[in-house]
A and B are shown apart, each in its own frame.
Chain A
C-alpha cells in the first residue's frame, strides 16, 4: 500500500528564518509527487509537481526537490503570509486512475513576524 509521511507535523518559524519540510514516500511506482498549500477553510492549492529524482522546482520563496525516497520543500526567508498547511501527495504509475492521489497528513507552518 502506498504511504506518504510528512514531517514535522507543525513548524513555527520567525520571519526570515529559512527551513525545510520533509515528505517521505513508499509507493509501488512513482509517477509524480505533488505539493499543495492549504489555507484554513480553503481547498488545497497546487504548487508543484516533481516527476524524477534530482528534479527541482521553484516558486517565489519555495523550492521543491525530489529523491527516490523523499521530497523536501525548502522555504527561504519566509513571511507571515507563507503560514499555511503544506500537503504532499503521490501519484503512482499503472493502476486504473492516475487521478488518485495519496496524501500525507500535512505540515502546519506558522511564520511569526
Chain B
C-alpha cells in the first residue's frame, strides 16, 4: 500500500510570503494529523482531522496557520504570512483508527525554511 505522501519535500520562502503544504494520507485512513519539528526541539502535535472535521487543533501555534481537509481525503496546511520561527520540518501522519492500535504512519515531511 502507498504510504503517506507529502509535498513539497523542501520549500524556501521569504518572510511574509505564503506557503501551502500538502499531505495525502493512506487511502481509507480517516484520521490525519499534522506535527512539526522546529530545529533543536522535539516533534510537536499541531492538529488532528477525523475525515473533514477538526477533532483537535490545540497545537496550532497561531492564526497564521490554516489547515483544511476538504472531502476528507488530502489535507493542506497554509502558513500566511510566514515568519522566521515557522522554519522546521512539518510531518503529516495518518491512522486507520484514532487509538493508533496499528501505529500512526508518518510521511517524510516538508522542510520549510523561512528567510
* From B55, B105, B107, B108, contact of A96 by CB (8 A): B55
* From B4, B41, B98, contact of A99 by CB (8 A): B98
* A62 CB within 8 Å of chain B: no
A45 to chain B: which residues have CB within 8 Å? 106
B-side interface residues, number (CB < 8 Å): 28
Number of A-B contacts (CB under 8 A): 73
Inter-chain contact B100/A43, CB cutoff 8 Å: no
Given known A-B contacts A98-B100, A99-B98, A42 and B108 have beta carbons under 8 A apart: yes
Q: How far is the CA of A35 from the CA of B54 in the complex (A)?
A: 26
* From A99, A104, A105, contact of B48 by CB (8 A): A99
Which residue of A has the minimal Cβ distance to B92? A43
Inter-chain contact A101/B55, CB cutoff 8 Å: no
